[in-house]
Structure 1
Amino acid sequence: MAFEPPPRLVRALAETTGGEDWLRGLPQALDRAVEALALSVERVQVPGGRSSLVVLVRRSDGSPAVLKLIPRRSRPAGERAALAHWHGLGAAQLLEGGADAQAGTGDGVLLLERLNPDVSVRTLPEAKALLEGAATLRRLWVEPPSGHVFETVEERTGRQADAMRAALVGPGDEAAALVDTALGLRAELLADPPERLLLHGTFRQSKVLGGERMPWLAVGPDPVVGECAFDLARLVRDRVEDLIAMPSGAATTRRRVKRLAESLEVDRERLRGWTVFRAVESGLRARRVGRPRDADWLLEFAAWL
Structure 2
Amino acid sequence: MRTTRSAVLLGFLLALLSVPLAPATPAAAHAALVATSPVRDAVIGSPPGEVVLVFSESVSPVVGRVQVLGPDGRRVTAGEPVADGATLRIPVRVPDRPLGTYLVSYRVISADSHPVAGSFAYSAGAPSATPPEPVSVDERPSGGWTPAARYVGYLGLVLAVGPTLFGAARWPRRRRRRAVTATGYVGLALVAVGTAGTWVAQAADMVGVPVGDLSRGDLTAVAGSDVGPVLGARLALAGIAAGLLTAVAGGRAGRGRRVALAVVGLAGLVTWPLAGHPVASPLPPVSILADVVHLAGMSVWLGGLFTLAVFLLPGTHRRVLGRILPAWSRWATVAVGWLVASGVGQAAIELGRPGSPLHEVPADEAVDVVAGLLPRLWRRAAGPFTPLAEEAVGWRQRLPERWERAGRPYGRRLVDAALDQLDRLVDTQGEQVLVNQDLHAGNVLRATREPWLVIDPKPLLGEREFAVVPIVRGAELGHSPGAVRRRLDRVTGALGLDRDRVVGWTIAHCLAWSLDGDTVFTNQVEVARWLVDGT
* TM, length-normalised to structure 2: 0.33
2:150 paired residue number: none
1:230 to 466, 471, 479: 466
Q: Distance in 1 between matches of 2:411 and 2:492?
A: 27
Q: Distance in 1 between matches of 2:389 and 2:412?
A: 22
1:260 paired residue number: 491
Q: Distance in 2 between matches of 1:252 and 1:241?
A: 8
Question: Given the superposition, is the C-alpha separation of residues 215 and 241 from structure 1 closer, same or farther in structure 2, using an over 3 Å criterion?
Answer: closer
1:297 to 501, 523, 526: 523
Q: 1 or 2 for the larger relative contact order (CA 8 Å, sep ≥6)?
A: 1
The answer to whether the 8 Å contact 2:441/2:477 transfers is no
Higher helix share: 2
Superposed, 1:126-137 pairs within 5 Å as 126-137=363-374
The answer to whether the 8 Å contact 1:142/1:198 transfers is yes
The answer to whether the 8 Å contact 2:472/2:487 transfers is yes
Tell me which amino acid in the other structure corresponds to 1:296.
T
Q: Distance in 2 between matches of 1:196 and 1:238?
A: 23
The answer to whether the 8 Å contact 2:475/2:523 transfers is no
1:141 paired residue number: 378
- Unpaired stretches in structure 2, ≥5 consecutive residues: 1-17, 19-23, 35-55, 57-346
Tell me which amino acid in the other structure corresponds to 2:447.
G
Q: Distance in 2 between matches of 1:203 and 1:227?
A: 15
Question: Given the superposition, is the C-alpha separation of residues 87 and 233 from structure 1 closer, same or farther in structure 2, using an over 3 Å criterion?
Answer: farther
Per the TM alignment, residue 120 of structure 1 is displaced from its structure 2 partner at its CA by: 1.9
Question: Given the superposition, is the C-alpha separation of residues 135 and 161 from structure 1 closer, same or farther in structure 2, using an over 3 Å criterion?
Answer: same
Tell me which amino acid in the other structure corresponds to 2:377.
L
Question: Given the superposition, is the C-alpha separation of residues 190 and 204 from structure 1 closer, same or farther in structure 2, using an over 3 Å criterion?
Answer: same
Q: Distance in 1 between matches of 2:448 and 2:494?
A: 26
Question: Given the superposition, is the C-alpha separation of residues 219 and 252 from structure 1 closer, same or farther in structure 2, using an over 3 Å criterion?
Answer: closer
1:191 partnered with 2:427: yes
Q: Distance in 1 between matches of 2:361 and 2:437?
A: 22
Q: Who wins on radius of gyration, i.e. which is larger?
A: 2
Indicate the SS of the match to 2:468: helix
Per the TM alignment, residue 266 of structure 1 is displaced from its structure 2 partner at its CA by: 0.7
2:400 paired residue number: 165
Any idea what the Cα deviations from partners look like across 1:144-178, whole Å, max 9, x if unmatched?
1xx522100011122222221211227x8334221
Indicate the SS of the match to 1:151: coil
Give the percent of matched residue pairs that are identical in Structure 1 and Structure 2: 27
Superposed, 1:21-40 pairs within 5 Å as none
2:514 to 283, 302, 305: 283
- Unpaired stretches in structure 1, ≥5 consecutive residues: 1-37, 39-62, 64-82, 92-110, 244-248
1:200 to 431, 436, 441: 436
Q: Distance in 2 between matches of 1:180 and 1:257?
A: 22
The answer to whether the 8 Å contact 1:140/1:198 transfers is yes
Per the TM alignment, residue 298 of structure 1 is displaced from its structure 2 partner at its CA by: 1.5
The answer to whether the 8 Å contact 1:168/1:175 transfers is no
Per the TM alignment, residue 117 of structure 1 is displaced from its structure 2 partner at its CA by: 3.4
Tell me which amino acid in the other structure corresponds to 1:140.
L
Cα RMSD (Å)? 3.2
Q: Distance in 2 between matches of 1:240 and 1:122?
A: 6
Any idea what the Cα deviations from partners look like across 1:2-35, whole Å, max 9, x if unmatched?
xxxxxxxxxxxxxxxxxxxxxxxxxxxxxxxxxx
Q: Distance in 2 between matches of 1:281 and 1:148?
A: 23
Tell me which amino acid in the other structure corresponds to 1:187.
D
1:274 paired residue number: 505
Per the TM alignment, residue 116 of structure 1 is displaced from its structure 2 partner at its CA by: 3.1
The answer to whether the 8 Å contact 1:230/1:271 transfers is yes
Residue correspondences, number? 194
Stretch moving more, 209-218 or 258-267:
209-218
The answer to whether the 8 Å contact 2:447/2:453 transfers is yes
Per the TM alignment, residue 195 of structure 1 is displaced from its structure 2 partner at its CA by: 1.2
Any idea what the Cα deviations from partners look like across 1:32-89, whole Å, max 9, x if unmatched?
xxxxxx9xxxxxxxxxxxxxxxxxxxxxxxx9xxxxxxxxxxxxxxxxxxx99x9896
Tell me which amino acid in the other structure corresponds to 1:176.
R
Q: Distance in 2 between matches of 1:87 and 1:190?
A: 34
Tell me which amino acid in the other structure corresponds to 1:192.
T
Question: Given the superposition, is the C-alpha separation of residues 219 and 167 from structure 1 closer, same or farther in structure 2, using an over 3 Å criterion?
Answer: same
Indicate the SS of the match to 1:202: coil
* TM, length-normalised to structure 1: 0.56
Q: Distance in 1 between matches of 2:508 and 2:353?
A: 32
Per the TM alignment, residue 268 of structure 1 is displaced from its structure 2 partner at its CA by: 0.3
Indicate the SS of the match to 1:182: helix
The answer to whether the 8 Å contact 2:392/2:426 transfers is no
1:176 paired residue number: 412
Q: Distance in 2 between matches of 1:215 and 1:241?
A: 19
Tell me which amino acid in the other structure corresponds to 2:427.
A
Q: Distance in 2 between matches of 1:148 and 1:207?
A: 24
Any idea what the Cα deviations from partners look like across 1:173-205, whole Å, max 9, x if unmatched?
334221110111011111211111111232111
Indicate the SS of the match to 1:206: helix
Indicate the SS of the match to 2:461: strand
Per the TM alignment, residue 289 of structure 1 is displaced from its structure 2 partner at its CA by: 4.9
Question: Given the superposition, is the C-alpha separation of residues 117 and 212 from structure 1 closer, same or farther in structure 2, using an over 3 Å criterion?
Answer: closer
